[in-house]
Amino acid sequence: MYFAHVGGRWATGLRDVTTDLGALDGTGWWAVVVTYEGKVTCARFDEVRPAPLPEPTGPWPATLEWTTSLDQRGYEDGVRRIRDEIEHGEVYQANLCRILTARLPAGSDPLVLAGRLARDNPAPYAATVMVPGLSIVSASPELYLSREGNVVESKPIKGTGLTADDLLDKDHAENVMIVDLVRNDLGRVAEVGSVTVPALCEVEEHPGLVHLVSTVRATLAAGQGWPELFAATFPAGSISGAPKSSALRIINELEPEPRGPYCGAVGWVDADRREAALAVGIRTFWIEHDLIRFGTGAGITWGSDPRREWQETELKASRLVALASGMPDAARMENR
């Protein structure tokens, strides 16, 4: 059965699937997944109602064994390479990520994983989507784009620590750089003078860690719809870097595997009500064939320490990977 559980809504009765973002300016309720590389999946469902996540009907493996696309040495070398690029004026900040992969037995039910995350790692933009060829289980804490009529918001996250005391001046500087990037991105499709920053570098608590979060708001100019919004803002600034074009080039050179839905967009669009909430696809598992993948990364600036950045990727991954791997008690212990 194909379904989506996003934004507290249970959606069934898959009507159609399209790669056309313009459909989101039409009619119906859509679950949306866009990979970091730009592959679009928009799935329209006929039956949508507020409901809790349903109980699973299938199994989940007792353990999972993970490999990583970049080991510690490779990741720290990548941090040093980005610092070299910063020294030469090519970029101010770039996000360096690695992909964890494990084999998944046939018949594994993603709703088991979704239930674990809902219980032990609740997230404001949690999503579970099963559509032809792809299954997503996300516990994203980060808003890529929300929409109410012509008003859009983005809430970039930059800065991560176990507690607020762990946040550094580097984290605040990084957040401000990305806010400026998001302001510029939204400004391409916004009414002149409508881009504002209602909140800057607020500390948000999440299971096992804290983040610095800012809010950028804008009013869309006439004639600007979802294709134009994505063209102006995707991928999100918080998971690319600044300047974005240079950061994307460096990321492509340093990361050995595609990110897929990780660092893309996952969420819902109600085209009839002109409302939406799309998360940045972080803290996100995706399943294709017999593989489950999970991405983790960190923003690199001139002030970055390679070992500390590696440890940040471990911090972001450890709790959720433990839950996926059948170690919920280990994940709970991290929060004590």
pTM of the model: 0.94
What single letter denotes the amino acid at residue 158? K
Whole-number pLDDT of residue 333: 32
What single letter denotes the amino acid at residue 52? P
Distance in angstroms (rounded) separating the CA atoms of residues 224 and 239: 24
Distance in angstroms (rounded) separating the CA atoms of residues 326 and 79: 31
Distance in angstroms (rounded) separating the CA atoms of residues 82 and 92: 9
Q: How many CB atoms lie within 10 A of CB 329?
A: 9
Whole-number pLDDT of residue 328: 57
Distance in angstroms (rounded) separating the CA atoms of residues 64 and 187: 44
Distance in angstroms (rounded) separating the CA atoms of residues 35 and 258: 9
Low-confidence ranges of the chain (pLDDT < 50): 329-336
Which residues lie below 8 Å from residue 129, measured CB to CB, with a gap of 6+? 3, 4, 5, 6, 31, 33, 43, 135, 136, 266
Q: Which CATH number fits domain 3-334: 3.40.50.880, 3.60.120.10, 3.30.565.10, 3.40.50.2300?
A: 3.60.120.10
Whole-number pLDDT of residue 232: 98
